[in-house]
Structure 1
Amino acid sequence: MALKILLLLLASYLLVTKRVSANDEEFGVQATYAKAPVPAPVKTPIPAPPVKPPTVTPNPPAPVVKPPTVVPKPPAPPVSPPTVAPKPPAPVPPTVVPKPPSPPVNPPTPKPPASPVKPPTVAPKPPVPPVTPPTTAPMPPVRTRLDCVPLCDQRCKAHSRKNICVRACMTCCDRCKCVPPGTYGNREKCGKCYTDMTTHGNKPKCP
C-alpha cells in the first residue's frame, strides 16, 4: 500500500514539472521578439526514495497435537447365574375335628297374656274466650276548617317538621272531613279519600 502511494506521488510530481517546463518554453517563444532567448533553468528531478520491500513476519510454528490417550476399559465382571430358591414344602391340610351333637332345642314357654293398655284420659280444654277488639274513642266530627286545627295539631305534634305536616293535614282534613287518631298510622279510618291523596311525586300526602 505504501509503495502505491509513493508511485502516485512521483507520477504527479513529474506531471507538474512537465507542465511547468512547457509553460516556460511558451513564455520563451513569445519573448524572442523583444528579448534574447534566455535558457530555461532545467530542474533536476528528485530521485524517488528506495522502496523497501514489506517485511514478512514468519508464521509461528503450529503446536504439536498430542494423540489422545486411550484409557483401557476395565474387564467386565463375570455374570453369575441367578440363584434359584428352593420351593417351600406343600402345606399339610388341617385335620377336621367333628362337631359334638347339638342339644335338643326346648320349645319356648308361652307368656301370659298382657293386660290391655288403657288410653290416657284427655281432659277437655276450656273454651277460648272471644277476642274483643280494643275499643277506640269515636273520632270527633269535622264540620268546618276550624275543627281541623286542634286535630291536626295533635296529629303532627311528634313530626320532625311540624309546620309542613300541619299544612298537609289541614288540606286533607278540609277535603275528607276526617283526621286519623294518634300521631302515626290509622290512616285507613278516614277512608280512601285520605289514603289515596298523593303529592306531585306520587307520595302519600296526608300524614
Structure 2
Amino acid sequence: MKLVYANMILLFLVLSSSMLQFSMAGSGFCDSKCSVRCSKAGVQDRCLKFCGICCEKCNCVPSGTYGHKDECPCYKNLKNSKGKGKCP
C-alpha cells in the first residue's frame, strides 16, 4: 500500500514540474513582448502589468509600441470594468 502512495506522489511531482516549465516558458514570451510594447510608455510598471495580463490571456501581443491591435483581436477586445480597453 505504501508503494502505491509513493508512486502516486512521484507521478504528481513529475506532472507538476512539467506544468511549471510550460508556465515559465509562456511568461518569458510575454515578458519579452511586453518589454518591447511598453518601452516608450510613460508609466512602464502599469503598462507591463496590464500587458502581461493580456498576453497571458490571449497568447499574443501586437507589434510595435502603440497601435497594431488588429494583429491580436483578443488583445484588442479585452475591456476593463469601465468598458474601456484593458490592454496597452
Normalization by structure 2: what TM-score?
0.69
Greater C-alpha radius of gyration: 1
| Higher percent of residues as helix | 2
Q: Aligned pair 1:196/2:77, yes or no?
A: yes
Cα distance in 2 for residues equivalent to 1:200 and 1:169: 16
Once the two structures are superposed, residues 57-112 of structure 1 have per-residue CA deviations (whole angstroms, 9 ceiling, x without a partner) of: xxxxxxxxxxxxxxxxxxxxxxxxxxxxxxxxxxxxxxxxxxxxxxxxxxxxxxxx
Aligned match of 1:147 in 9, 22, 29?
29
Cα distance in 1 for residues equivalent to 2:28 and 2:75: 18
Q: What is the one-letter code of the residue matched to 1:182?
A: G
Once the two structures are superposed, residues 33-80 of structure 1 have per-residue CA deviations (whole angstroms, 9 ceiling, x without a partner) of: xxxxxxxxxxxxxxxxxxxxxxxxxxxxxxxxxxxxxxxxxxxxxxxx
Q: Aligned pair 1:206/2:87, yes or no?
A: yes
Two-structure CA RMSD over aligned residues (Å): 1.0
Can you give the 5+ residue segments of structure 1 that lack an aligned partner in the other structure? 1-142
Instruction: Specify the alignment match of 1:179 in structure 2.
Output: 61
Cα distance in 2 for residues equivalent to 1:146 and 1:180: 16
Shift of 1:145: 1.7
Normalization by structure 1: what TM-score?
0.30
Once the two structures are superposed, residues 144-185 of structure 1 have per-residue CA deviations (whole angstroms, 9 ceiling, x without a partner) of: 122110110110011100100000000110010001100000
Q: What is the one-letter code of the residue matched to 1:164?
A: R
The structure whose RCO (Cα within 8 Å, separation 6+) is larger is 2
- What stretches of structure 1 move > 2 A for 4+ residues in a row? none
| Identity percentage of aligned residues | 36
Can you give the 5+ residue segments of structure 2 that lack an aligned partner in the other structure? 1-24
Q: Aligned pair 1:167/2:49, yes or no?
A: yes
Cα distance in 2 for residues equivalent to 1:185 and 1:203: 15
Q: What is the one-letter code of the residue matched to 1:202?
A: G
How many residue pairs align between the two structures?
Answer: 64
Q: What is the one-letter code of the residue matched to 1:195?
A: K
